[in-house]
Amino acid sequence: MPEPETPQTTAAKKLFVKTYGCQMNVYDSERMAEAMGAEGYVTTDVVEDADMVLLNTCHIREKASEKLYSDLGRLRALKADRPGLKVGVAGCVAQAEGAEILRRSPVVDLVVGPQSYHRLPQMVAAGGRQVDTEFPVEDKFSVLPERKVTRGPAAFLTVQEGCDKFCAFCVVPYTRGAEVSRPVARLLDEARGLVAQGVREITLLGQNVNAYHGAGPTGAMGLAALLREMAKIDGLARLRYTTSHPNDMEDDLIAAHGDLPQLSPYLHLPVQSGSDRILKAMNRKHTAEAYLRLIERIRAVRPDILVSSDFIVGFPGETDRDFQDTMDLIRTVGFGAAFSFKYSARPGTPAAERAPVAVEIADARLQELQALIATQQRAVQEAMVGREVTVIYEKSGRLPGQMVGKSDHLHAVHVQDPEGQIGQLVRVRVSASASNSLAANLLSRIP
Ligand code: 5AD
Ligand code: SF4
């Protein structure tokens, strides 16, 4: 009789991933974890247990790359205790600084850019210190393993990468490269796979998502056509997309907001500034008036749409008058949310050559702008009180029997629902508005 086989008990290697910056990085981090998963790595939330640490970086503003170097400093001590520990730097700082990271930080083994991270397993297997910041001919998405990890019912799906717009302040065209759209059929497959795993909401991601023009069965398809195909997937309750550029808000995309029930009444449409002079200097190629007219057209088909934006204050040459134009635009639009930033010079961008606005002035403007946005955000949230909304539960709340999810307008909503399950859709009536969330009472469950 043959001997019974003894099971192999080699412990899986552990991977710790830290993500900085945008939602696209969140998506990329998941894909990198899957690529390493195929090599036997499991993810851990405890950095001290890790055999490999991956920092997926952001280069968009100064603070983002400063954070990387302070984290690397901390990893030095950990690596002293765990000599086998591998440290990788991915993302846009990796792309921008490449081998400089290896020189500056001896703790780093691997540097990999956003377009070459599918090669991470090979780099790890090869050993030694390596840099790969190429824009390879092979498409990373066709090499990466199929998606299997999801974190609840809301998932991201990258449909487009890169940007050809070259706003004068922005590094994205340099770090992420030229605009590339993924083919429609692959995206539909990935979306169906996600829904089969219980995903109910998909956010289509791209640096310039509404410039999407992926290959479809009968030629290139735009974002509106892609959304319409996605909306046919059974079980997919909610669709969103981000981030858009005002100049790519085509008629069919605006129309989709009026007639696609799955499409969230939420639009993140950065304007950056309300001053035509500054918009021109930023190379935005639209005026404040054009933005206002666009918002009017979108509100004509979807009156309750919640509009959000990004703003930069203290762009080189910004005067008080320019800043007041931005404040006027904000008053006219009425934003439901916004991200606002003090301008920071990014090396290699055209605006970095220009004299900066005094930091105290920029600080004061940022505070004033954020106070106005906060007032508008509160008003939009308070206007939800008494209304019936649909919520997709994403997790349990802190109180017993409480569930937390997002409404169609992307407000966080707390519901007392002891029978509630993650991933469930419910109709609720909003009862109160707190600082960053709504409270609501359960009305019914949506099958
Ligand atoms: N300084 C400040 N903010 C910036 N952003 C992009 N580049 C810079 C910069 N150099 C902001 C823009 C963009 C958002 C993602 O980050 O508002 O829309
Ligand atoms: Fe950067 Fe967006 Fe401008 Fe492209 S459109 S350059 S990603 S700010």
In a domain, 87, yes or no: yes
Q: 434 C-alpha to center of ligand 1: Å?
A: 29
Domain coverage including residue 436: 388-446
Q: 163 C-alpha to center of ligand 2: Å?
A: 6
- Among protein residues, the one whose CA lies closest to atom 16 of ligand 1: 60
CATH number for position 278: 3.80.30.20
Average pLDDT of the segment spanning 347-358 = 94
Whether residues 353 and 219 fall in one domain: yes
Q: Which of 169, 174, 207 has most ligand 2 atoms within 8 Å of CB, for mutation?
A: 207
In a domain, 419, yes or no: yes
Both tokens of residue 333?
Answer: 């639009």
**pLDDT surpasses 70 at 4:** no
Q: 344 C-alpha to center of ligand 1: Å?
A: 8
Q: 60 C-alpha to center of ligand 1: Å?
A: 6
Instruction: Tell me what pLDDT residue 6 has.
Output: 47
**pLDDT surpasses 90 at 295:** yes
For ligand 2, is residue 166 a contact (CB within 6 Å)? yes
Closest ligand to the CA of 284 = 2
In a domain, 377, yes or no: no
102: Cα separation from own chain's centroid: 27
Whether residues 146 and 68 fall in one domain: no
Q: 316 C-alpha to center of ligand 2: Å?
A: 17
**pLDDT surpasses 70 at 3:** no
Q: 356 C-alpha to center of ligand 1: Å?
A: 15
pTM score: 0.91
Whether residues 299 and 181 fall in one domain: yes
For ligand 2, is residue 208 a contact (CB within 6 Å)? yes
In a domain, 376, yes or no: no
For ligand 2, is residue 165 a contact (CB within 6 Å)? yes
Instruction: Kindly indicate the confidence band of residue 63, based on its pLDDT and cuts at 50, 70 and 90.
Output: confident
Instruction: Tell me what pLDDT residue 149 has.
Output: 59
**Residue in 48, 17, 50 with CA at minimum distance from that of residue 35:** 17
- Number of domains composing the chain: 3
Per-residue pLDDT tens over the stretch 406-428: 999 999 999 999 999 999 999 99
The dihedrals phi and psi of 26, each to the nearest 5 degrees, come to -60, -45
71 C-beta neighbours (distance < 10 Å), count: 19
Q: Tally helices (H) and strands (E) across the chain.
A: 14, 21
In a domain, 375, yes or no: no
Per-residue pLDDT tens over the stretch 370-403: 999 999 999 999 999 999 999 999 999 999 999 9
Q: What is the mean pLDDT of the chain?
A: 93
Whether residues 76 and 193 fall in one domain: no
Q: Which of 58, 172, 247 has most ligand 2 atoms within 8 Å of CB, for mutation?
A: 172
**pLDDT surpasses 80 at 94:** yes
CATH number for position 74: 3.40.50.12160
Whether residues 97 and 209 fall in one domain: no
Whether residues 113 and 145 fall in one domain: no
CATH number for position 410: 2.40.50.140
Whether residues 214 and 313 fall in one domain: yes
Per-residue pLDDT tens over the stretch 75-84: 999 999 998 9
**Rounded distance between C-alpha atoms, residue 59 and residue 170, angstroms:** 9
Average pLDDT of the segment spanning 241-247 = 97
For the CA of 339, the nearest atom of ligand 1: 17
Q: Which of 310, 311, 318, 353 has most ligand 1 atoms within 8 Å of CB, for mutation?
A: 310
Average pLDDT of the segment spanning 220-230 = 97
In a domain, 44, yes or no: yes
Q: 165 C-alpha to center of ligand 2: Å?
A: 6
Q: Which of 333, 365, 397 is the last residue of a domain?
A: 365
Closest ligand to the CA of 318 = 1
**Residue in 199, 206, 191 with CA at minimum distance from that of residue 158:** 206
Whether residues 347 and 400 fall in one domain: no
Least confident span in 113-117, 138-142, 237-241: 138-142
15: Cα separation from own chain's centroid: 22
For ligand 2, is residue 284 a contact (CB within 6 Å)? no
Whether residues 123 and 230 fall in one domain: no
For ligand 2, is residue 172 a contact (CB within 6 Å)? yes
**In the chain, how long is the greatest CA-to-CA distance?**
90
**pLDDT surpasses 80 at 2:** no
Instruction: State what percent of residues in the chain have pLDDT above 90.
Output: 84
Closest ligand to the CA of 346 = 1
Whether residues 153 and 243 fall in one domain: yes
Closest ligand to the CA of 309 = 1
Instruction: Kindly indicate the confidence band of residue 1, based on its pLDDT and cuts at 50, 70 and 90.
Output: very low
- By the 10 Å C-beta count (0-12 exposed, 13-18 middle, 19+ buried), 434 is classed as exposed
- Among protein residues, the one whose CA lies closest to atom 12 of ligand 1: 310
Whether residues 112 and 56 fall in one domain: yes
Per-residue pLDDT tens over the stretch 245-271: 999 999 999 999 999 999 999 999 999
For ligand 2, is residue 68 a contact (CB within 6 Å)? no
Ligand 1 pocket list (CB less than 6 A): 60-61, 169-170, 270, 272, 310, 312, 341, 343-344, 346
For the CA of 173, the nearest atom of ligand 2: 6
Q: Which of 109, 132, 155 is the last residue of a domain?
A: 132
**Contact present, 132 and 94 (Cβ < 8 Å):** no
For the CA of 163, the nearest atom of ligand 2: 4
Least confident span in 9-23, 191-205, 248-262, 298-312: 9-23
Whether residues 125 and 158 fall in one domain: no
In a domain, 372, yes or no: no
Where is 141: in which H helix or E strand?
A: helix 140-143
Instruction: Tell me what pLDDT residue 282 has.
Output: 98
Q: Which of 313, 334, 365 is the last residue of a domain?
A: 365
Instruction: Kindly indicate the confidence band of residue 150, based on its pLDDT and cuts at 50, 70 and 90.
Output: low
**pLDDT surpasses 90 at 296:** yes
In a domain, 383, yes or no: no
For ligand 2, is residue 173 a contact (CB within 6 Å)? yes
